[in-house]
Structure 1
Amino acid sequence: MTVPVLIVGAGPTGLTAAVELSRLGIDVRIVDRAARPSAESRALAVQARTMELLRVRGVGDEMLALGNRARAAGLYTGDRKLAPIELHRMPSTFNFILMLAQSETERLLTEQLARQGVKVERGVEVTSVRPGAETVTVTLRGTEGGLELVDASYVIAADGPHSALRKALGVPFPGRTLPQDYVLADLHIAGDLPQDEVSIFLARHGFVAVFPMGRGRFRMMATDPDRRLVGDSEPTVTQMQELYDRTVGVPARLYDVNWSSRFRINSRHVPTMRMGRVFFGGDAAHVHSPAGGQGMNVGIQDMVNLSWKVAMVLDGRARATLLDTYSPERLPVIRTVVRFTEIGTRVFNSTNPLVHALRVRLAPKALGRNAVQNAAAAMFGQVSAGYRDGMLAEGGGGLAGLRAGDRVPDVDGLYDALDLGGLTLFSGVRAVADVGRAWDGVVSVRDAAALAPEGWLLVRPDGYLAAAGGPGDAALLDRWLEQWFVRPAGASVNER
């Protein structure tokens, strides 16, 4: 069988890729070795940047209706609040962390995918992969044990931290396993804990973090540095209560555990997110501490970055070199997330009395600064990540404080005006708009004299600035497009 894109893995990363590509008219197959979707909540936090991207793609409103919003993260010692991290400062309409079980996020993406005519093939695993010059041949084993050869123009490996595709292609996964032991549980807590705030309790013997999921249900994460929880079985409610009581100064009763687990943190990422015609994303490409609730969001954003590029190359509107920009754009973002989460984990985990004293003293001072609060909120919400140093940003110019590669804020309904299958030119300058119209099929032109009265903005489908300039920069726009895209047939020299 031949297919344009084979997606391996039906977690949030793979499902996002399938939703995006099928929406853009690309035939896809998506397979997953698991016989059924996971019922566990696992990843919980949906960040502002992810919400900005998913809302205009048809699933954001349902997520908002189901999730619980946390507008701050409070740092405590005992029952004393040291300082808040004011998440409402995020420069986004979604200036909060949406707490929504990963199982629900996957369900909503799967339903959207079904509306687009694609069904996840479950109980199907990869047994071998053979890269070629024009296609990748993947051997699949189905539920009945039979083997099938699939030739795909491109393969997306979204098959998790133990990725069969990554291993088969010999792609390294360097990093380390952090030494601390952790426990995790979804349960109910009866006590005076805020329902709209993440609560992080710091103590000399570790920490407890409590994430509100709504209606009295919480996700609790805790360290177990002296390994009080012996054995390999799932932690019980009694054991979680013990960890809570010795760290948290707010009395509460824990009950009704939905699921629990023990784990250690791996902090790793691939050196490249592309191997020929195979692209890696999500946990197949990067794993790290859950501090800050970043992981699932990074994987979803990997696929929003990649999918429009693959679609435009496959339908002949873009040069194949556009795909070379995926890994150089995403890897710096991933390195920053890995570094940030490792630092946060070390600070929270330390059992050194001196470190604990410094945490208690310095946290209120640092978080008392507006600049620190603003930066922290933007980083948590992933709205500060961008691609200024990426290949696509070269020669792209800028306008009004924005430079090529920056996230374009969703103001005045701008994202609703985006062409999610191509580039969108916002301009009130006739000469620039004429250049955009000459690239019909690649560029959609929006009359936006109020938005860019002195120039123009060319925005990518993923909401980042592709290029920008003033009224005399029409030639800059044309040169930038020529580098990455295929000029429509019939475009005249005069149109150039």
Structure 2
Amino acid sequence: MTGSLESPGVLVVGAGPTGLTAAMELSRLGVAVRIVDRAPEPSPTSRALGVQARTLELLRVRGVGDELLRAGNRASATTLYARGRRLAALHFDRMASDFNFILLLAQSETERLLAEQLATQGVKVERGVEVVGLQQGPGDVQVRLRTTHGDQETVTAAYVIAADGAHSPIRKALGLPFEGRSMTHNYVLGDVHLVGGVPEDQLSIFLAPNGFLAVFPMGDGRFRFMATDPDGLAGEAPEPDLTAIQRLYDRVAPIRAELYELNWSSRFRINSRHMTTLRSGRVFFGGDAAHVHSPAGGQGMNAGIQDMINLAWKLAMVLDGRAHEHLLDTYETDRLPVITQLVRMTERATTLFNSTNPVAHAALTALAPRLLGRSAVQDKAVPRLGQLAATYRNAPLAAGGGRTGSLRAGDRVPDSEVTTVAGEHRRLYDLLDLSRLTLLTATGDAPEQYLNIVAVQHVSAGVDGWWLVRPDGYLAAAGRAGDQRTMTRWLDRWFIPRSAATG
């Protein structure tokens, strides 16, 4: 097996989108990292499909977003159909982002692009390697690994990231709860091609009292189907055939279409669960290991990627002595409220859309056009789907950070256009130093003792006063020009001044 980690280092367990993002971020930040996965090969199936606006904003500046955009198919809306007609639509172009759409791309392709970026940073996924033992000490974690050939080694890591899936062996070994429930419906899933009038630039959702069907366009005539089958129309085969999926489609969809070339199919049941903590000592949890929920709205994979972008910069700054260890506690206090809200939101949406109760169905189909016809409803719902509305403003890391205009500490900073003092028009995120905090200001500078923590970008337009922006694109603190006290107080709480770090 590969040699041991340099010390200190991080072991990432699981090479799905969550684990790959963790390893990519940590290695880019100079942290020694290994990533292992017990599967001998990457999964070839598409599974998660939607890459949301917030994820694209964060991955673009990390070298992956442009490739994702080239490979994926853009959907500009989600359209609801029922009673044989179009009811209403959610329009993603209302999102205040350059990525005002949902990008539809097979998870296998997302993983491939993340793994390729990781490889350019000098890290390769070690496959066919599983964790068979874990013991935490006061300053490290001893992890026993075993290959499919039976070879074993013990790795010493400063921290472990468990991104090992919904059945996380690490979570189970530590005896941590995974609270929630299994939802009632069984689902049929399939990737097919079709000829017909189903749009390729929108998600199509068909509602009926005897079944629900969602159709996701993946480009070039290929679609993902997800359907309930409450009365067993598709039979009981674990991998329904093309005829069965055509029957499910014909039952609820008013748009004529002929399905062909079934690539794969399966059945699944939705679990709606999440951990009550994201940390156990030196082990952190993210992605499906920490939260699983309905695929409604394409939220899960994005949440896992954003888990790791939140965690990685904090780990890197603690490991190199620039931040206090208690900064790591803010991973949980930032992300757990977002995850809890996400699980509840997707569970409610699934219960509503999948209901076979005639009264509930009639109410939904009557109210949907009225509600989605309101601009206020669209303006609230669409940013939530794009994960632009998620905020950490009530978390401890935002406390005392102040505000600027409508932005409060902990809010997402929009990737808007700013003007540098040299007169250049730049995207705000292109000015961020992703390895430390970035101070955007027209005048002034960072406190001298924190110049190893804060990069300074002088801008002449687009920023009021000064903004201190986190590497994950959220506002850390803000204030009026000349008000350095707010900034210093906030930095003092979480970070180690240069004199203390070096002396």
Q: Same fold (TM over 0.5)?
A: yes
Query: Which one of 197, 200, 207 corresponds to residue 195 of structure 1?
Result: 200
Q: Does the aligned pair in 2 maintain the 1:137–1:152 contact within 8 Å?
A: yes
Residue 433 (structure 2) pairs with residue 419 (structure 1): yes
Deviates more, 1:138-147 or 1:379-388: 138-147
Matched, 1:25 2:35: no
The one of 86, 96, 116 aligned to 1:91: 96
Aligned counterpart for 1:408 among listed residues 410, 413, 432: 413
The normalised TM-score by structure 2 is 0.95
Question: Is residue 470 from structure 1 mapped to residue 474 from structure 2 by the alignment?
Answer: no
Indicate if the aligned counterparts of 1:78 and 1:250 stay in contact, CA closer than 8 A: no
C-alpha contact (below 8 Å) 1:9/1:32 kept by paired residues: yes
Query: How is 1:91-240 mapped onto 2 (pairs within 5 angstroms)?
Result: 91-240=96-245
Whole-Å separation in 1 of the counterparts to 2:63 and 2:368 = 39
Which of 387, 395, 402 lines up with 1:390 in the alignment? 395
Q: Which residue of 2 aligns with 1:271?
A: 276
Tell me the distance in 2 between the aligned counterparts of 1:279 and 1:491.
Answer: 25
Q: Deviations over 1:214-264 (max 9, x none)?
A: 111000100011223333420110000011111111111111111111010
SS at match of 2:66: helix
Tell me what 1:335 maps to.
Answer: 340
- Aligned partner of 1:480 among 472, 490, 495: 490
Match of 1:16 among 21, 46, 64: 21
Q: Supply the AA of the counterpart residue of 2:441.
A: S
**CA-to-partner distance for each residue in 1:117-144, whole Å, 9 max, x for gaps?**
0010000001111111101111100132
Q: How many Å apart are 1:489 and its aligned residue? A: 2.1
Secondary structure, aligned partner of 1:162: coil
CA distance in 1, matches of 2:351, 2:446: 54
Letter in 1 for 2:451: D
**1:276-307 deviations in Å (ceiling 9; x for gaps):** 00000000000000000000000000000000
The CA deviation string for residues 421-480 of structure 1, in whole angstroms up to 9 with x for no partner, is 0000001232xx152x44111100111231334x10000000000000112420110111
> Which of 440, 445, 449 matches 2:451?
440
1:318 aligns with 2:323: yes
**What CA distance in whole angstroms lies between the structure 1 residues aligned with 2:106 and 2:480?**
45
Q: Kindly provide the CA deviation profile for residues 379-423 of structure 1, in whole angstroms up to 9, marking residues without a partner as x.
A: 110000010011110000011111000000001100000000000
| 2:292 alignment counterpart | 287
* 2:47 matches 1:68: no
Q: State the AA in 2 paired with 1:448.
A: V
Name the CA distance, whole Å, in 2 between partners of 1:38 and 1:477: 46
Which ranges of structure 2 fall in alignment gaps of 5 or more residues? 418-426
- Per-residue deviation, residues 187-217 of structure 1 (Å, max 9, x unmatched): 1011101110000011111211100001110
Q: Is the 8 A contact 1:2 1:152 kept in 2?
A: yes
> Does the CA-based 8 Å contact 2:442-2:459 persist in structure 1?
yes
* Identity among equivalent pairs (%): 62
- The answer on whether the counterparts of 2:60 and 2:66 sit within 8 Å (CA) in structure 1 is yes
- What is the alpha-carbon distance in structure 2 between the residues aligned to residue 12 and residue 234 of structure 1? 25
Give me the whole-angstrom Cα distance separating, in 2, the residues matched to 1:68 and 1:390.
35
Matching residue's letter, 2:44: A
Contact kept, 8 Å, 1:78 with 1:248, in 2: the verdict is no
* Distance 1:429-1:361 versus aligned 2 partners, 3 A rule: same
Letter in 2 for 1:304: I
SS in 2 for 1:255: strand
Specify which of 58, 61, 66 is matched with residue 56 of structure 1: 61
Matched to 2:204, the amino acid is S
SS of 1:467 mapped into structure 2: strand
2:353 to 342, 348, 354: 348
- Residue type of the alignment partner of 1:444: A
Q: Return the match for 1:365 from 340, 345, 370.
A: 370
Q: Which runs of 4+ in 1 moved over 6 A?
A: none
Is the deviation greater in 187-196 or in 443-452? Answer: 443-452
Question: 2:422 is matched with which residue?
Answer: none
One-letter identity of the residue aligned with 2:496 = V
For residues 122 and 478 of structure 1, the distance between their equivalents in structure 2, rounded to whole angstroms, comes to 45
Q: Which runs of 5+ in 1 are unaligned?
A: none
The answer to whether the 8 A contact 1:438-1:491 is kept is no
Instruction: Name the CA distance, whole Å, in 2 between partners of 1:141 and 1:22.
Output: 23
| Cα distance between partner residues in 1 of 2:150 and 2:48 | 31
Name the CA distance, whole Å, in 1 between partners of 2:353 and 2:329.
Answer: 38
Match of 1:218, SS state, is strand
Cα deviation for residue 353 of structure 1 reads 1.1
Counterpart contact for 1:182–1:262, Cα < 8 Å: yes
Alpha-carbon offset, residue 79 of structure 1: 3.6
Contact 2:440 2:459 in 1 (8 A): yes
CA contact (8 A) 2:449 2:499 kept: no
Alignment pair present for 1:81 and 2:91: no
Which AA in structure 2 matches 1:470?
R
* Residue identity matched to 2:369: P
Contact persistence 2:5–2:34 (CA under 8 A)? no
How far apart, CA to CA, are the structure 2 residues paired with 1:77 and 1:434? 57
Q: Distance in 2 between matches of 1:200 and 1:9?
A: 32
